[in-house]
Amino acid sequence: MAAVRLVHLKTALHRHGGTPSIPPPWTIFRLPNKTFRLFSTSVSPPSKAVVYEEHGQPDAVYKLRELPPVPIKDDDVCVRMLASPINPSDINRIEGVYPVRPAVPAVGGYEGVGEVHSVGSAVKGLFPGDWVIPSPPSSGTWQTYVVKGQNVWHRIDKSTPMEYAATITVNPLTALRMLEDFVDLKPGDAVVQNGATSIVGQCIIQLARVRGIHSINIIRDRAGSDEVKEKLKKLGADQVFTESQLEVKNLKSLLADTPEPALGFNCVGGNAASSVLKFLKNGGTMVTYGGMSKKPITVSTSSFIFKDLSLRGFWLQKWMTSDKAKECRDMIDYLLSLTRSGELKYDMELCPFDEFPTALDKALGKLGSQPKQVIKF
């Protein structure tokens, strides 16, 4: 077991005339002309975790387990998790259908925010009480204590609302990268997207608005669609259409004063993807980042020949594995600053860890349409 430097508090205090009152186990304390950094024991506390030992339906294969303490190496940081979301990709990892997934048995979760509990003796720049997120994201965040190397953790501003800190590294970062990586957009340009009510969709609307870019948004037909339209327009959407409204021959006539978009985003597939393509101007690009309908994308021959449209794909995990840790963290800090200023917001629901089964049912769609579920530890 790697050694962790310890200070015997009582001895140190007596040595310098202090009073031997015992602070929390991670305390940094100062005496005249001396500063002591008090490390925890060389193992983490026991951890409660959501574990799956085989792939399958999440509600059938997960178990709530207590895990034993984990050794803390010299360059490790022990983090007490504060919150972590249930993302669709988390569900896919448990099902065993996601392209990259941890070997089973595994702890669920891929992003989140926590508070530094204790550090190894070689750790610099992180201290107990700091708020950190794994960046790039890292598997195993659905547990009360996580021990990983210092290079995994990125310190963030503690004034950030906890639920936004927990969810910033997957959906908002996807929205930002897709707006910046495919077409050189200028203020006054436009984008079009389906799945506009998703977290990525809400972020695209707001990030586009910050840049002076118009957004055309497609939502599915459902009860309360008028209220959904108004909500998206309050976020900054210029145009919002239901899929049935697009059953006309000339979609461009619906745009009014909004310019034809050069860039489109598809997370649905099927007819919803075709609608995005119809809005795009000549030479436009559609980026696919999801396939919620599980239907293929069908492209007319004329879209390729006469409109010269391009079809691209985006997968955040692939982008983040390209030695972009510094760039990724800078963008996360930028996105978090927007959440603190109120320029970036999206629907979430905090759920106590003890109520994880209910949160999972909501994430699986068993209880109808629900906001993003964020587990609070």
Catalytically active residues, by annotation: 98
Tokens in use for 37? 């950094």
Could you give all domains of the chain from N- to C-terminal order, each with its CATH number? 43-167+346-376 (3.90.180.10), 171-318 (3.40.50.720)
Among residues 169, 145, 167, the alpha carbon closest in space to that of 71 is found at 145
**Full pLDDT tens readout for the chain, 377 residues:** 444 433 333 333 333 444 333 334 444 444 455 544 444 458 999 999 999 999 999 999 999 999 999 999 999 999 999 999 999 999 999 999 999 999 999 999 999 999 999 999 999 999 999 999 999 899 999 999 999 999 999 999 999 999 999 999 999 999 999 999 999 999 999 999 999 999 999 999 999 999 999 999 999 998 899 999 999 999 999 999 999 999 887 888 898 889 999 999 999 999 999 999 999 999 999 999 999 888 999 998 988 899 999 999 999 988 887 677 889 999 999 999 999 999 999 999 999 999 999 999 999 999 998 999 999 99
Of 367, 361, 349, give the one whose Cα is nearest residue 83: 349
- Measured distance CA(363)–CA(346) in Å, rounded: 16
Separation of first and last alpha carbons in the chain: 28
The residues, any chain, with a CB within 8 Å of residue 58's CB and separated by 6 or more, are 52, 91, 94, 95, 108, 360, 364
